[in-house]
Amino acid sequence: MKEISLHIMDIVQNSITADATLIEVSLDIQYANNMISIAIRDNGRGMSKEMLAQVTSPFVTTRTTRRVGLGISLFQAGTQASGGEFCIDSTEGVGTALQATYGLDHLDRPPIGDFAGTMHTLIVSNPDIDFLVTVIVDGAQDVLDTREVREALGNDVPLDMPDVSLWLRENLDEMFKPEYTDF
Ligand SMILES: Nc1ncnc2c1ncn2[C@@H]1O[C@H](COP(=O)(O)OP(=O)(O)OP(=O)(O)O)[C@@H](O)[C@H]1O
Ligand SMILES: [Mg+2]
């Protein structure tokens, strides 16, 4: 069973490959509604209708007629196996958006894993891409927007500079507390 953070890593990798310059990732934990919702949106090149239909077709392991990766299929399969839902929309030249939900207390829900570490790695290893990270816990929202960080630092200070990297890490750790992964 793959951790949710590793799925996020995979899906954001798709956005990077699609030349996105802004990637939005939100993690919404709703204890009250017994739900976890993940939303990932990019402004990359998007997919054709045909491609979109292929990546969302039911996951069939015996299929050998096409060479399409597993990143999206596995993410989708995991949500549906844990009482959740999955949807993806994409427009060529505009971007791609995915939303996945999990039943919070479903026995087959994967653990969230290291969300702060995953987002930190993605940001500092792609210093030219902007990230908008949102964590919402029962309605209380916390945001990290690298566009604002750049503006505050001045555009010549790279986000992978050690001091900046450390600051980003501390902020992400504040946003996503370890106890969220305890269940
Ligand atoms: N954000 C995106 N923007 C544009 N195209 C995308 C995006 N995400 C996926 N795609 C297209 O859908 C295909 C399938 O994506 P998926 O992640 O399932 O597999 P993959 O990236 O090809 O391989 P894998 O993830 O298994 O290494 C990609 O090859 C790409 O063509
Ligand atoms: Mg992929």
Sorted by sequence, the CB contacts under 8 Å of residue 177 that are 6+ apart come out as none
**Does pLDDT of 42 surpass 80?**
yes
**Does pLDDT of 105 surpass 70?**
yes
Composition of the chain by helix, strand, coil, percent to 5: 40, 25, 35
Q: How far is the CA of 157 from the centre of ligand 2 (A)?
A: 30
Q: Which segment of 5-14, 48-57, 144-153 scores lowest on mean pLDDT?
A: 48-57
Closest residue to atom 17 of ligand 1, CA basis: 71
Q: How far is the CA of 148 from the centre of ligand 2 (A)?
A: 28
**Would you state the pLDDT for residue 43?**
98
| Six-digit token string for 90 | 């994409």
Name the DSSP class of 25: E
Tens of pLDDT, residues 111-131: 999 999 999 999 999 999 999
**Would you state the pLDDT for residue 112?**
94
- Domain ranges in the chain are 4-181
Class of domain 4-181: alpha beta
Question: Which protein residues have a CB closer than 5 Å to ligand 2 (ion)?
Answer: 14, 69, 71
70 vs 108, residue with greater confidence: 108
**Would you state the pLDDT for residue 180?**
78
Tens of pLDDT, residues 146-163: 999 999 999 889 999 999
**Would you state the pLDDT for residue 66?**
53
CB atoms within 10 A of CB 95: 21
| Six-digit token string for 171 | 């902020």
The DSSP H or E segment spanning 22 is strand 22-30
Q: Which ligand is nearest to the CA of 23?
A: 1
Q: What is the mean pLDDT of residues 79-85?
A: 92
Tens of pLDDT, residues 58-81: 554 444 555 566 789 889 988 989
**Would you state the pLDDT for residue 62?**
46
The answer, yes or no, to whether any atom of ligand 1 lies below 6 A from the CB of 24, is no
The answer, yes or no, to whether any atom of ligand 1 lies below 6 A from the CB of 69, is yes
The answer, yes or no, to whether any atom of ligand 1 lies below 6 A from the CB of 158, is no
**Would you state the pLDDT for residue 60?**
45
Closest residue to atom 30 of ligand 1, CA basis: 14
| Ligand 1 pocket test, candidate residues 7, 9, 14, 17, most atoms within 8 A of CB | 14
**Would you state the pLDDT for residue 61?**
44
**Does pLDDT of 178 surpass 80?**
no
What pTM, to 2 d.p., does this model score? 0.93
**Would you state the pLDDT for residue 164?**
96
CB-count burial class (<10 Å; 0-12, 13-18, 19+) for 67: exposed
Q: What is the largest CA-CA distance in the chain?
A: 52
Q: Which segment of 56-65, 80-89, 107-116, 166-175 scores lowest on mean pLDDT?
A: 56-65
Helical axes 71-80 vs 4-17, angle rounded to 10°: 150
- DSSP per residue over 94-155, as a string? TEEEEEEEEETT-TTPPP---HHHHHHHHHHH-TTSEEEEEEEETTEEEEEEHHHHHHHH-T
**Would you state the pLDDT for residue 143?**
98
Q: Which ligand is nearest to the CA of 57?
A: 1
* CA gap 123, 129 in Å, rounded: 7
Residue listed under structure tokens 């929309």: 89
